[in-house]
Amino acid sequence: MSKFLSTRIHGFIIIAIVSSVFLQAQEPGLPDELFSRPERTKYQETSVHADIMAFVQSLEENSDKVHVEIMGTSFEGRDLPLVIISNPKVTSPEQAFTSGKPVFYIQGNIHGGEVEGKEAILKLLREIAFEQKGYLLDNQILLFCPLFNPDGNDDLGPNNRPNQDGSPFLAGKRTNGQDFDLNRDGLKLETFEGKALVENVMNRWDPLMFVDLHTTNGTWHGYSITYAPGIHTAGHPAVSTYLNEELFPRITNRIRQRSGHETHQYGGFYEYPPQSYYGMYPEPRFLTNSFALKNKLAILVETFSHDHFEKRIDSNIAFLTALLEYTNDYGFEIQELVDNANQEVIDQIIDNGGSFSRGVEFSYEEPGLSTDLYVYEVKSGKRKGKKIWYSGVNQYFDMSADREAIVPRAYVFPEELWKVAEKLREHGVLVTQLSDASSFQGEKYTVMQLNKQNRSYQGHYPASLEGYFENASLDMPAGSYFVDMAQAYAFLIFYMLEPEADDGLVHWNYFDDYLEDRGVGANRVDFPVFKIGELGSGMNEEIISSMGVSYNPDQKAILIRDLPESVNQGVIELVSSSGQIMIRRKLAKGETHLELNVSSIALGLYLIRLSGDNLMQTQKVLIRNLE
């Protein structure tokens, strides 16, 4: 037995003895499993995966508001629990959709050693489930994943958090079981955990808000909590503007009045006294930024690592309570905000696709904003207990584009790039294939040089391209992939497919083989993703008009009307929330109305998908029992 393993086992034996004494002081009537390991050990230890699973199982057994799902498994095979808490209880996205209540999602422990969010979620779940904070379920449905990185969490060691003050002495490591940083997987989606999050939470439950709980790595500011919105960069600005101008000011004021915790936007400084304070980076590899590109409210929360363990947990609870009070009061306003942003993105593409630009590479906007910063006093390189204000600190939060590209009406690329198509689909993007050879007008990018870093990063050798755009026409064969940009995730698609995007699929080596096989460097090579300027030759403008979809429970049939008359080789599909095609029917020429018999189809939320030559149109439909 290794010395380290022995230390871990003996530590747990000691803790078990302490726990039996400490639990006598806990609330009567609740099982031991509903108190976290920090609570049971006087904040000397953090919860391991087995503790979390026991907690959520006991929570579900003892509360009529809780449903637990397994949203996926980690690289090492540990379950990722998803707790759905609502009043009344819901057990499926279809029930949530039917309730009309907005859905919000919060996760902890994306970095295994940053444990405070995980422990705060457990305590908050107990308080919500057993009435103390049951009011938070009046107008919303809440999803929690307390432990998003169980492999990193359970790889305990005394040196995993060297900049963290005090307990827990043993903490997990930052990365997952593959030694990948889960907060660098927002765009490439290559980890088990990242794929599970997007497929089984974001795509399946479609929450309006994503909250990611972290702990800082050592900056000596004076704030209990720092926070940041998803940086929208190329995306729709409404969601991050709303967070900065409406939500954050209200909840931080409430936190200060209620608990005395000082809060500020997330950032760091690198000299003392501080002269500049730098905020969040813009790349969509960070989860909050990737979800901001999907028009979600996305919030990064960072607990101050130098506070003692119990305070770090309590400050998280204070922030989450104020946040969820806000969403409980203004959830329908948030729903309208997100719906409007989605529609405005679609409208902008339909009206102006091919004629406006967005950034693909960013840096901090100069000059920064002069601000007052609350920090710990430092003398001779050592922190003192006193906190002081510094004036005139240059704060860098806003980003400006160093490089831009035209946002097209659509993209088209060859069938051999099926991995690119599948990556888009994993994100919830609608991708079709041409049924006939087609001609297009737009922009092509000529690659002169493929540059790759020499050192591996997150399992890749990050790449960038040198080249130029020019107007061109292109003939594409049947089977080529076609991506209509008239969908809510248009700006995520843009970032993924643009050849010069600083964090797109080029960066993550998805085009290396294609380019190298054609002798890039020695030869000029056309980038395989072609940008279509407008719907013209070979395109069908009638995608713009929406078909009507409704469910008739008496006939057990889905009624579809107002189909475009000119659809060529059109197909209607009924698609489940997991992506399975349940019904597929070809359209007769000129057919504008039809019924789908769904008497043998299970109740639930489905997608009606219309596809034809170079078009794709979708509508949600709920098959439900109204008896």
What does the domain layout of the chain look like in residue ranges?
Answer: 3-356, 408-532, 542-623
Q: What confidence tier does 549 reach under pLDDT thresholds 50, 70, 90?
A: confident
Instruction: Map residue 561 onto helix, strand or coil.
Output: strand
Nearest to 264 by CA among 291, 304, 232: 304
**Spatial contact of 549 and 608, defined as CB atoms under 8 Å apart:** yes
Residue 123 belongs to what H/E stretch?
A: helix 116-129
Who contacts 590 (Cβ-Cβ below 8 Å, separation ≥6)? 565
So what's the pLDDT on residue 601? 83
What is the fold, at CATH topology level, of the domain defined by 542-623? Immunoglobulin-like (2.60.40)
Summarize the confidence of residues 540-555 as an average pLDDT.
64
Summarize the confidence of residues 367-373 as an average pLDDT.
90
Q: What is the token pair recorded at 421? A: 């198509």
Whether the per-residue pLDDT at 614 is higher than 70: the answer is no
pLDDT tens profile 236-261: 999 999 999 999 999 999 999 999 99
So what's the pLDDT on residue 568? 61
pLDDT tens profile 395-448: 999 899 999 999 999 999 999 999 999 999 999 998 999 988 999 999 999 999
Question: At 576, which amino acid appears?
Answer: S
**221: number of CA atoms within 13 Å, CB side?**
31
Question: At 183, which amino acid appears?
Answer: N
So what's the pLDDT on residue 162? 75
Residue 280 CA to residue 290 CA, distance in Å, equals 13
* Highest mean predicted confidence (pLDDT) among 301-305, 568-572, 580-584, 593-597: 301-305
Cα→Cα distances 363→2, 94, 206, 360, 502, Å: 47, 42, 31, 11, 11
Whether the per-residue pLDDT at 3 is higher than 70: the answer is no
Q: Return left, alpha or beta for 170; rule: phi > 0 is left, psi -120 to 50 is alpha, else beta.
A: beta
Whether the per-residue pLDDT at 227 is higher than 50: the answer is yes
Q: What is the token pair recorded at 459? A: 């399992």
Residue 378 CA to residue 385 CA, distance in Å, equals 9
Q: What confidence tier does 300 reach under pLDDT thresholds 50, 70, 90?
A: very high
Summarize the confidence of residues 490-504 as an average pLDDT.
97
So what's the pLDDT on residue 577? 59
**Spatial contact of 113 and 182, defined as CB atoms under 8 Å apart:** no
363 phi, psi to nearest 5 deg? -145, 165
The span from the first CA to the last CA of the chain, in angstroms, equals 62
Q: What confidence tier does 8 reach under pLDDT thresholds 50, 70, 90?
A: very low
623 phi, psi to nearest 5 deg? -90, 115
So what's the pLDDT on residue 28? 59
What is the fold, at CATH topology level, of the domain defined by 3-356? Aminopeptidase (3.40.630)
So what's the pLDDT on residue 26? 54
Q: Per-residue DSSP letters for 193-260?
A: HHHHHIIIIITTT--SEEEEEEE-SS--BS-SEEEEE---TTS-THHHHHIIIIIHHHHHHHHHHHH-
**Spatial contact of 176 and 75, defined as CB atoms under 8 Å apart:** yes
